[in-house]
Amino acid sequence: MAYFKNIGKIVYEGRESDNPLAFKHYNPQEVVLGKTMEEHLRFAVAYWHTYVGDGSDPFGIGTAIRPWDSLTGMDKAKARVEANFEFMEKLGLPFFCFHDRDIAPEGETLQETNANLDVIVALLKDHMRSTGKKLLWNTANMFTHPRYTHGAGTTCNADVYAYAAAQLKKSLEIGKELGAENYVFWGGREGYESLLNTDMALELDNLARLYRMAIDYAKEIGFDVQFLIEPKPKEPTKHQYDFDAATTIAFLRKYELENHFKLNLEANHATLAGHTFEHEIRVAAINGMLGSLDANQGDLLLGWDTDEFPTDLYATTLTMYEVLKAGGLGRGGVNFDAKVRRGSFEPEDLFHAHIAGMDAYAWGLKAAARLIEGKVLDAFVEERYRSFREGIGADIVAGRATLASLEQYALQNKPIRNESGRLERIRAALNEAIFGV
């Protein structure tokens, strides 16, 4: 059955096209810097926003009109599976991502919940086999249900911790069954409201213990997966433990877990942390921890996670620049962890939103390739740091310098001369790379 009856296959028609249901920039087979766009971008649809989200907000109930609205329970879950593959096929999306609770409803007991999951996972597997679509990552939702009010891996209640572990175990089994490329941990309620009632050291130790159990179990069942942690500074808790890339890397190193994890970075989480997305990607990349991207954008006028579809070309260009410089996303991809606005309630809007995001990323990829091919930034940065390639700078980089040798140099040095950083000239060049004709 077709759920999106009025929409056909979305194809690349190029810049001249005025068809809103066509790609103007995303041309999957077009080669950019030696790889096709499809290979670079590895786009994924986020099950939760696209099939489960209903447009509700703290002030109003859902507005979304969806073709499966009349169904409930497992019938609705099955309809969403069908809709997912139709949607991916029509948009040419190679991957999808989900939380366990997105795909199947919770039952009265954990046994019943797991049985619901088994039915849907079998259905997903059939469709994946017949369509060739793949699972970029799955995860366990350990934050929505009231049992997780004090957290999951960082809860104060050992019974809740055990429940979370059971849920995680099942999710790893699902990941293996569906051949997931990655498994994501986003610390939904892994954080705290107030130190007045919190044992931070115990909570962090316990979180690391849960990660260790996941590594051991994946090994035990032969699940060849890349584990990812998704940093976020706040929301839902006031202080999320995985605040940003740097904090998360420090946590992983403390517990000697760094070789088992990479990061799943999200644009809106970066801005909530007071960083740009490209900052977070660079921090991950220079630490060998760039895993995957959750593509969206926030609103700088708002202090919460608005999860808008990414349309800002400066941001997508600088994002893809960082990705290309880091050597690509490997097993990761570009997952649209993004939702249509509450006022964009028609099924057709889901297509417009993904087309906008895919085109913005394709544009960003092409502009980033122009920056790299023209050595626009590289040439300047190379020149800017040239003092570290000769003389005293080369000594510093080689580790030959000491405070005494540097003092000796500084004492006899001529007056120091700095050079302009030329940021405005560089920004103009960036504009040319993005918009130049």
Interface residues with ligand XUL (CB under 6 A)?
99, 139, 184, 186, 230, 232, 266, 294, 305, 337
Work out what residue 279 binds among Co ion, ligand XUL, none; the CB cut-off runs from 5 to 8 Å by kind: none
Residue 266 within binding range of Co ion, rule CB under 5 A = yes
Least distance in angstroms from the C-beta of 230 to ligand XUL: 5
Give the C-alpha separation, 310 to 365, whole Å. 13
Of 159, 166, 153, whose CA–CA distance to 117 is shortest? 166
Residue 51 DSSP SS3:
helix
Given 25, 40, 100, 102, which residue is catalytic? 102
Task: Determine the Cα–Cα distance for residues 363 and 37; give it in Å rounded to an integer.
Answer: 10
Is there a catalytic annotation at residue 395?
Answer: no
Active-site residue among 40, 99, 275, 354?
99
Torsion sign (Cα): 177, 183, 187, 190 = positive
Residue 354: active-site member: no
Kindly tell me which of 294 and 308 has the beta carbon lying closer to Co ion. Answer: 294
Kindly indicate which of the ranges 113-121, 283-291, 292-300, 379-387 contains the residues binding Co ion, using the contact rule CB under 5 A: 292-300
- Cα–Cα distance between 257 and 411 in angstroms, integer? 45
CB of 281 to Co ion, least distance (A): 14
Residues 6+ apart with CB under 8 A from 143: 152, 188, 189, 236
Those residues with Cβ within 8 angstroms of residue 184's Cβ, 6 or more apart along the chain or in another chain: 97, 137, 138, 139, 228, 229, 230, 264, 292
Binding to Co ion by CB under 5 A, coded x per residue (else -) over 54-93, reads ----------------------------------------
Residue of 294, 305, 308, 322 interacting with Co ion (CB under 5 A)? 294
Closest CA to 150 of 269, 237, 210, 213: 237
Minimum CB distance to Co ion smaller for 173 or for 305:
305
CB of 86 or CB of 337, closer to Co ion: 337
Our CB check for Co ion shows the closer of 304 and 435 to be 304
Shortest spacing between CB 356 and ligand XUL, in angstroms? 19
Phi, psi values for residue 53, rounded to 5°: -60, 140
Report CA-CA distances (Å) from 341 to 37, 236, 293. 27, 20, 21
CA neighbours closer than 13 Å in the CB half-sphere of residue 284: 34
Please, what is the minimum distance in Å from the beta carbon of residue 358 to ligand XUL? 18
Q: Are 392 and 400 in contact (CB under 8 A)?
A: no
Minimum separation from the CB atom of position 264 to ligand XUL (A): 7
Nearer to ligand XUL, 186 or 261 (CB): 186
CB of 181 or CB of 266, closer to Co ion:
266
Nearer to ligand XUL, 93 or 184 (CB): 184
Rounded Cα–Cα distance for residues 15 and 1 (Å): 33
Q: Which does 359 bind (CB under 5 to 8 A by kind): ligand XUL, Co ion, none?
A: none
| 244 binds Co ion per the rule CB under 5 A | no
**Residue 219 vs residues 223, 341, 360, 365: alpha-carbon distances, Å:** 6, 41, 38, 36
Residue nearest to ligand XUL (CB): 186
- Rule CB under 5 A: say whether 242 interacts with Co ion: no
By CB under 5 A, tell whether 337 contacts Co ion: yes
Spatial distance between the Cα atoms of 92 and 301, rounded to a whole number of angstroms: 33
Q: Which is nearer to Co ion, 305 or 359 (CB)?
A: 305
Phi, psi of 163 (to 5 degrees): -65, -45
Residues in the chain: 437
| CB burial of residue 119 (10 Å; 0-12, 13-18, 19+) | middle
Question: Which of these, 136, 45, 129, 53, lies nearest to 84 by C-alpha position?
Answer: 45
Is residue 305 at the binding interface for Co ion, with CB under 5 A as the rule? Answer: no
CB atoms inside a 10 Å sphere around CB 378: 12
Select the binding partner of residue 305 from Co ion, ligand XUL, none (C-beta < 5 to 8 A, by kind).
Answer: ligand XUL
Question: From ligand XUL, Co ion, none, which one binds at residue 275 (CB under 5 to 8 Å depending on kind)?
Answer: none
Q: Which helix (H) or strand (E) holds 48?
A: none
Residues that bind Co ion (CB under 5 A): 266, 294, 337
Q: Which residues are the active-site residues?
A: 99, 102
